[in-house]
Amino acid sequence: MFDKYIKINEKRIIAGQTSSGIWYCKELIAETTTELREIINEVNLILNDYNNNDKKNEKKTQKKD
């Protein structure tokens, strides 16, 4: 009888936010360096987008005051 195994890779990206509102990556799990490079690139794009949007929103609220 053949035993079948299924490998499930649990990928986790844990992000946090500083007291000043900047988003950053706390934990990133990858199995290979190639996978890590791809994931880091995607995470940086996403977090940079959030951080840039927060800065734009801050400038808009400061102008209203």
Sign of CA dihedral 56, 50, 45, 40: positive
Nearest-angstrom CA–CA distance, 26 and 59: 27
Q: What is the pLDDT along the chain (65 residues), one digit of tens a residue?
A: 556 666 666 767 888 999 888 999 988 988 899 999 999 999 999 999 999 986 666 666 666 65
pTM: 0.61
Spatial neighbors of 58 by CB under 8 A, at least 6 apart, are 21
